[in-house]
């Protein structure tokens, strides 16, 4: 029995998930927001990681990294990534993140809070480079970036489309 407990406790790797709004998007758009935008609060219901080799349409192969609703002010993570979770994962390759967004509220200096809808009920993002390998004792830093279109926010049409990516960082 002792061998089982030893193997079970140490046969996992650790993944740490952080989030930021990138200071510069790859396509050259500047995600730094209009000065009238004071806060962009996004509430994630949870954030899950997917183990490669399992279908992505059902619950099989998905493991919770963030298990309870978490609100992030995306303005606060423009230049300072925030750690959301650190958890153990079984040995395997992990290739996607999914995160249902329950609310998106933007605070404007002139009008106060405006509620937006995120079009998809659950956003899925492939982890660049084919994902990462979890193995006994391994430590992986996974970084999620999310940004929004300044013009879409200012249009106040009720919808926000997140631009998201996930990658392993040193």
Euclidean distance between CA atoms 84 and 60, whole angstroms = 23
Global pTM reads 0.85
pLDDT digits (tens, 9 = 90+) for 49-65: 999 988 766 677 899 99
pLDDT at residue 7 tops 50: no
Q: From the CB of residue 53, how many other CB atoms can be counted at a distance below 10 Å?
A: 9
Return the sign of the alpha-carbon dihedral for residues 33, 77, 75, 47: positive
Return the sign of the alpha-carbon dihedral for residues 125, 129, 130, 132: negative
pLDDT at residue 107 tops 50: yes
Residue 1 parent element (H or E): none
Provide the token pair at 93: 């390759």
pLDDT at residue 121 tops 70: no
Q: What is the pLDDT of residue 24?
A: 54
């Amino acid at each position: 029995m002792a061998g089982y407990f030893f193997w079970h406790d140490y046969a996992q790797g650790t993944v740490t998930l952080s989030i930021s709004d990138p200071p510069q998007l790859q396509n050259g758009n500047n995600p730094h927001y209009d000065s009238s935008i004071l806060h962009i609060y996004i509430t994630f219901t949870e954030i899950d990681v997917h183990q490669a080799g399992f279908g992505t349409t059902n619950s099989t192969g998905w493991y919770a990294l963030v298990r309870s609703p978490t609100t992030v002010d995306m303005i606060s993570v423009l230049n300072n990534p925030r750690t959301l979770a650190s958890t153990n994962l079984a040995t395997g390759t992990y290739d996607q993140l999914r995160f249902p967004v329950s609310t998106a509220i933007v605070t404007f200096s002139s009008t106060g809070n405006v509620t937006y809808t995120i079009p998809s009920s659950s956003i899925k993002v492939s982890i660049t480079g084919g994902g990462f390998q979890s193995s006994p004792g391994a430590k992986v830093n996974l970084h999620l970036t999310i940004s929004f279109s300044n013009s879409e926010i200012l249009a106040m049409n009720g919808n926000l489309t997140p631009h998201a990516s996930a990658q392993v960082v040193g």
